[in-house]
Chains A and B, each alone.
Chain A
Amino acid sequence: MGNVISCFLPGTEFDRAAQGLLGAAARLASACQVPHVALAACVSDTMTEALERHADRVVCIRSGLLSNDHPESCLAAFHAACASLDAQTVLLGQDARSQEMTPRLGYRLGGCSIGDAQSIDMTDGGLSVRRSVYGGKAVAVVRASRTPAVVWIRARAFEPAAERSDSVQTEILDVEISDGIAATQVTGRQEESRTGVRLEDAPVIVSGGRGLGGPEPFEELKKLAGVMKAEVAASRAACDAGWVPPGLQVGQTGKKVAPELYLAIAISGASQHLMGITDARVIAAINTDAEAPIFRHCQFGLVDDWKNVVGPLTERIASLLQ
């Protein structure tokens, strides 16, 4: 039957994504009645401790060459470890390195690989994965007919696993890596500050329009965005007025964004603006005008003056997220 293995690459922290990955792996393992092995390399002690409270087994890879600066050695190490752990399903998170490794690990393990899973299920024929295709216009269910299936999942979209009362002991696995190690070398890394996340990549966006009436209200929007972990964007009218820089403009002649949530505040929803948010999963709006076109594209909306709403809303969301 083999194990369900969740992979935590060097540097992984115990964040929402890691929790989702553990949850997905734990549920899959229990559905298949096989052990869930958390496999990690070069992670912090807190991370290891967290893993120990969530998995049936925790295996930590040890190897002289291994670090996040060696993509090829990282792959080789995880491959060697998975191979020795009798993998049935290998799950990875949605970080860039995990995405990069998924197909290669699948290939090396002689199994198959699937990316961007929104839900996973074990069926008689094998692991069944649900994922959205054709730019979100359709949903596909695909089945892995060769094992092990190596899958990276939209980890943040999965329920975290419940913490166990007992915790297991981390096992150390020494692996020997030799081939192709020096083929590429990481020579530098730049971290961009949180506010530097590109709008195109932002999972949540709070966007303001002409109805805000000036630059100051955008400060309030920033506070709201802060509690929502969101980026701030704007309509052209607001950019033009000089309230925010032009780089924040969303729409036909601005950025095209694809957040999970787009909250439009005091934006009418001109078609040129809407063209920039076609790919948003959920659109919500606050506008005084119930007839504003934006509402025709919203899942939910609030007809009210932003002045009455934004402040209390910020507090409410902050306390709900506590």
Chain B
Amino acid sequence: METATREVYWNISHHWVMYVLLVPTMAVALYGVWRHVQRWRAGKPVVRFDRPVMRLKRLIRFGLLQISLWRDPLTGLLHAMLFWGFITLTAATTVVMIHEDLNIPLMQGRFYLYFQSLFVDVLGLLAIVGTLLAGLQRWVLRPRRLVFSGEASCLLLLVFTILVTGYLLEGWRIAVTDDPWGHWSPVGRVVADVSAAFVSDAGLRTAHVVVWWFHLVLVFGFIAWAPYTKMRHVLTAPLNIFTADLDSRAGTLKPLDFETAASFGVNSLEQFTWKELLDLDACTECGRCTDACPAASAGKSLSPRDIILDLQHQLHEADVSVLSAASKAASDPDSGPALPIIDTRPALSPESLWQCTTCAACVEACPVSIEQFPKILDMRRYLVMEEASLPPMLAEAVTSLEQRGHPFRGAQASRTDWTDGLDIPHFRDVEDPEVLLWVGCGGALVDRNQSSTRALARLLQKAGVRFGILGRDETCTGDPARRIGHEFLFDAMARSNVERLESAGVRTVVTSCPHCFHTFRNEYPQFGAHLEVFHYTTYLARLIGEGRLVIDPAVTESITLHDPCYLGRHNGITQAPRDLVGRVTGRPLKEMRQHGAQSFCCGGGGGMSFLEEEADTRVNIERARQVVETGADTVAVACPFCTTMLEDGLGAVSEERSVAVKDIAELLWDSVSSDSSDGDASTDHIDSSDD
């Protein structure tokens, strides 16, 4: 039997014309790519090609397996079909080139039959199904998150036509040549049989020539055009995934060098790093970020997708020479931004920038590792530090932080009010201390949270933990300042806190607030801190594990859990709170629609709990509805800000059903067993003096 193969050009003469056409095609495409590269190069330097193995692993996870796409099954499926279809078709075309142009006979035998014929044929079909699904989504289902542009529709039609014409060509060739291996290409075979039934061989031959050239023009057109459309993500997405920040989670903001920085924050394109500019070109317009964004979901104007796209448009409109000149010029702060961005387009309005809760849902959702909210933060920094323009309520929070070390204007409580009758020593008076309990402003100064803080302290006492507090010596970690964008204030607060902890000899910190936890754990190292940091949920879980604390499942009400963004998404801690709630009920909890790493913000992060939100677009009400939906009697929380936001939100939807808000520490304290190691022993050697 003859070796299975096929003739490449078969019916086509003058195929050299194709090579001639390839030159301008590639020229146009490469010019497009080159222009992008030029623009990225105008960004500030940052090292992102180190540790290639780690980066490659990331690329495989997010680029090849596209794990984050599968959260929406339809999209995951259709994109996988298109993605693998295209990879396969491109590979097949490459094989043809190697076979024909390099004269290396690859297209034969088993490989030809299994891969080049059968596999390619099936994958191509899947790609067609993929485009059909995409069409269904785009033109029928029309989810809000998509961008409905002419460009996107054109691209989809183009891809569809390319795929379909490909099958026509294959089928007609099989029909005319009566290809003995035709049945290895099942789709082609069907096309062949159907066509042969209606059209003569000669007719098919002519049609084949015409459609072949048509197909070629479409393919070349697609190649040339792609870099100028969102299809550029075929290149930029993997690159962006490869060059992602390996060192810190997105919520870890970068410090600024105030002596050398040309601009405090960003309001001009060249003030971004090249990677941040690359981010803009990696966007696939999929809209997952905006879909996940709590502010957008609550009906506010903020849209992380549109921020990225508006910045991208701004970037594409920028004159490359102006851009690179701006990046070279030693910027003079008084001359103003060269290529301004804030408020130049609707999505970049300060109003929207002041709606971000820094919850990082956008970053978590983005399939191509774009960092949306750090850019929002960069622009906020500019507004706050360069223009001193921020909403009055936030200005008051900032002033209060500066003057009294906490963000609550008019707080009536003192830092130690919650300790009344509890005998909590100052850290300095504890002999051989195990941990510092960092109470935080929310846990100490807000009436409602004092009972949570008391519960936590009593649990620690019960477990016999040798701990102390800083009492009046505690000041805010600076988290609100940093998220609002006042890096200068944060810098000062961080430095003084690190120094204070250092000189007090603190090594281990347990925080009641996830924001404090995040700041201590991920951001204070930027200022030289070497601390072991626990959020109280993990610490208590550990005490229970060690048998120092015994919890009886005493709680009978049904419970759902709200994952604080700065615990779950920002720090990956989702299990400890679940374990603790499980302890007190002895049952699995009722999960909310969005939970764990996909949790929906309470609306209080990023300084937003100090802002007055419009009544009809409140994030906490949105979340409260999700709480009510679960049918649970109580929502367990592990953050003082979440507590206030949810209580407020649940109050507003209480006509639906009333749900209690309880801190996990409160739930545990209600269920603590008398078998726990006797806490009173610990006070023996603890000096009880507390100022």
> Do chains A and B make direct contact within the complex (CB under 8 angstroms)?
yes
Contact yes or no, B410 A275, CB < 8 A: yes
Closest Cβ neighbor of B654 among chain A residues? A210
**Smallest distance from the beta carbon of A239 to chain B beta carbons, Å?**
8
A304 part of interface (Cβ distance < 8 Å): no
B393 part of interface (Cβ distance < 8 Å): yes
Interface string of A180-222 (1 = CB under 8 A from B): 0000000000000000000000000000001000000000000
Residues of A within 8 A of B410 (CB): 252, 256, 275-276, 278
Residues of B within 8 A of A271 (CB): 411-413, 446-448, 644
Contact yes or no, B412 A275, CB < 8 A: yes
A274 part of interface (Cβ distance < 8 Å): yes
Residues of A within 8 A of B648 (CB): 270
- Which positions 627-662 of chain B face chain A at CB distance < 8 Å? 644, 648, 651-652
Q: Which of B412, B615, B644 contacts A240 (CB under 8 A)?
A: B615
**Smallest distance from the beta carbon of A56 to chain B beta carbons, Å?**
47
Residues of A within 8 A of B610 (CB): 253
Contacts A210-B651, A237-B651; is A274 near B447 (CB within 8 Å)?
Answer: yes
Give the size of the chain B interface in residues (CB under 8 angstroms).
18
In this complex, which of A210, A252, A270, A274 has the most chain B Cβ atoms within 10 angstroms of its Cβ? A252
In this complex, which of B446, B610, B612, B652 has the most chain A Cβ atoms within 10 angstroms of its Cβ? B612
- Which positions 276-292 of chain A face chain B at CB distance < 8 Å? 276, 278
B472 part of interface (Cβ distance < 8 Å): no
Closest Cβ neighbor of A276 among chain B residues? B410
CA gap between A198 and B393 in the complex, in Å: 20
**Smallest distance from the beta carbon of A319 to chain B beta carbons, Å?**
36
Range of interface residues on A (Cβ < 8 Å): 10 to 19
Residues of A within 8 A of B652 (CB): 237, 240
In this complex, which of B411, B447, B448 has the most chain A Cβ atoms within 10 angstroms of its Cβ? B447
Residues of A within 8 A of B612 (CB): 236, 253
B408 part of interface (Cβ distance < 8 Å): yes
Contacts A252-B410, A274-B412, A275-B409; is A293 near B447 (CB within 8 Å)?
Answer: yes
**Smallest distance from the beta carbon of A275 to chain B beta carbons, Å?**
4
Q: Which of A210, A237, A275, A293 contacts B411 (CB under 8 A)?
A: A275
Interface string of B434-457 (1 = CB under 8 A from A): 000000000000111000000000
Interface string of B232-256 (1 = CB under 8 A from A): 0000000000000000000000000
In this complex, which of B393, B410, B413 has the most chain A Cβ atoms within 10 angstroms of its Cβ? B410
CA gap between A83 and B311 in the complex, in Å: 74
Closest Cβ neighbor of A256 among chain B residues? B410
CA gap between A228 and B448 in the complex, in Å: 32
CA gap between A222 and B615 in the complex, in Å: 24
Residues of B within 8 A of A210 (CB): 651
Residues of B within 8 A of A272 (CB): 644
Residues of B within 8 A of A240 (CB): 615, 652
**Smallest distance from the beta carbon of B656 to chain A beta carbons, Å?**
15
CA gap between A256 and B410 in the complex, in Å: 9
Residues of B within 8 A of A278 (CB): 410, 412
CA gap between A109 and B526 in the complex, in Å: 64
Contacts A271-B447, A274-B412, A275-B412; is A253 near B393 (CB within 8 Å)?
Answer: yes
CA gap between A201 and B198 in the complex, in Å: 92
Interface string of A242-269 (1 = CB under 8 A from B): 1000000000110010000000000000
- Which positions 516-534 of chain B face chain A at CB distance < 8 Å? none
Contact yes or no, A275 B615, CB < 8 A: no
Residues of A within 8 A of B651 (CB): 210, 237
CA gap between A204 and B413 in the complex, in Å: 25
Residues of A within 8 A of B411 (CB): 271, 275
Contact yes or no, A275 B393, CB < 8 A: no
Residues of A within 8 A of B408 (CB): 252, 275
In this complex, which of A236, A270, A276, A293 has the most chain B Cβ atoms within 10 angstroms of its Cβ? A270
**Smallest distance from the beta carbon of A259 to chain B beta carbons, Å?**
15
Residues of B within 8 A of A252 (CB): 408-410
Residues of A within 8 A of B409 (CB): 252, 275
Closest Cβ neighbor of B413 among chain A residues? A271
- Which positions 300-330 of chain B face chain A at CB distance < 8 Å? none
Residues of B within 8 A of A293 (CB): 447-448
**Smallest distance from the beta carbon of B96 to chain A beta carbons, Å?**
67
**Smallest distance from the beta carbon of B408 to chain A beta carbons, Å?**
7
Closest Cβ neighbor of A240 among chain B residues? B615
CA gap between A252 and B397 in the complex, in Å: 10
CA gap between A270 and B652 in the complex, in Å: 14
Residues of A within 8 A of B446 (CB): 271
**Smallest distance from the beta carbon of A243 to chain B beta carbons, Å?**
12
Closest Cβ neighbor of A274 among chain B residues? B412
Residues of A within 8 A of B447 (CB): 270-271, 274, 293
Interface string of B405-428 (1 = CB under 8 A from A): 000111111000000000000000
Residues of B within 8 A of A242 (CB): 615
CA gap between A101 and B610 in the complex, in Å: 41
CA gap between A242 and B616 in the complex, in Å: 11
CA gap between A101 and B252 in the complex, in Å: 58
Residues of B within 8 A of A275 (CB): 408-412
Closest Cβ neighbor of B615 among chain A residues? A240
**Smallest distance from the beta carbon of A270 to chain B beta carbons, Å?**
8
In this complex, which of A256, A274, A276 has the most chain B Cβ atoms within 10 angstroms of its Cβ? A274
Residues of B within 8 A of A241 (CB): 615
Residues of A within 8 A of B611 (CB): 253
**Smallest distance from the beta carbon of A279 to chain B beta carbons, Å?**
9
CA gap between A237 and B652 in the complex, in Å: 8
Residues of B within 8 A of A253 (CB): 393, 610-612
CA gap between A271 and B450 in the complex, in Å: 11
Some 19 contacts from A to B, beta carbons below 8 A apart, are A240-B615, A240-B652, A241-B615, A242-B615, A252-B410, A253-B393, A253-B610, A270-B447, A270-B648, A271-B411, A272-B644, A274-B447, A275-B408, A275-B409, A275-B410, A275-B411, A275-B412, A278-B410, A293-B448
9 residue pairs, one from A and one from B, having the closest CB atoms: A275-B410, A271-B447, A240-B615, A253-B612, A271-B446, A278-B412, A278-B410, A253-B393, A293-B447
Using a CB–CB cutoff of 8 Å, the interface residues on chain B facing chain A are 393, 408-413, 446-448, 610-612, 615, 644, 648, 651-652
Using a CB–CB cutoff of 8 Å, the interface residues on chain A facing chain B are 210, 236-237, 240-242, 252-253, 256, 270-272, 274-276, 278, 293
